[in-house]
Amino acid sequence: MGLPVTIKAFVFDAYGTLYDIQSVAAVTDESFPGYGEVITQVWRMKQLEYTWQRSMMQRYVDFSVVTRESLVYSLKLLGLNYDQAVFDRIMDKYVHLDLYPDAKVALDALKPNKLAILSNGSSDMLGPLVKNTGLDRILDATISIDSERIFKPAPAAYALIEKRLRVQPSEVVFVSSNPFDVVGAKAFGLNVAWIERVTPEAMAAEVKPNAPIYPVTMFKAIRTQMDELGFQPDHRIHTLSELATVV
């Protein structure tokens, strides 16, 4: 047997992994009282769906456009009227998303490994977000899939890690809380750590016989449980702060 490969880089998904996408609910509920949660859930699900549809159709637009289109869909679906100022205020939250509380400490603990983001986000979204939250002083690179014009989980998106960081896939731990991203990264050949923030046991406890299913519960059922596509993460952890124990 050969010597084990040394890990040289940790590469993170941004939205839902380092950044709490549900933090947009504070702005959506302020603009549309009582609708904040459902807007947030539908918006995120359509945002992801549009990335996959556009990749399959070979009709790429950057993530800022996808995010706008999916927000328009969500507001129309709910019959909510809005003016441009309201719409822009909601969109602006995407460059001021909340970091998960343990993100900075977890990243600092992984030095001197190379640290980077690989995200579907466009450069004009990721740059301000990373700077606004101070991660520009910690990360070695913020990689957008823009140059490949195809969204994760396409293999070409993950290939950007080697191109930018000059590390082999076997030398990388890719970190994501999004199951579709975990599966895509593992299929590509990366070592993968899944941030399992909602366990199956916790999910099952939320669903009661004959009880109403709330938007956040449906979102968790669809978007936070591991997909059955034949690929499993190498590491299953529950918080970013556990990453230091992976290597």
What is the set of active-site residues? Answer: 13
Q: Give the 3-state secondary structure of residue 32.
A: coil
Closest CA relative to residue 16, chosen from 53, 39, 45, 57: 45
Residue 2 exposed, middle or buried by CB count within 10 Å (0-12, 13-18, 19+):
exposed
Neighbour count for residue 111 (Cβ, 10 Å): 11
Amino acid sitting at position 130: V
H helix or E strand, kind and range, residue 10: strand 9-12
- Category of 7 on φ-ψ map: left (φ > 0), alpha (ψ -120 to 50) or beta: beta
Question: What are the tokens at 24?
Answer: 């947009």
Q: How far apart are CA 212 and CA 79, in angstroms?
A: 22
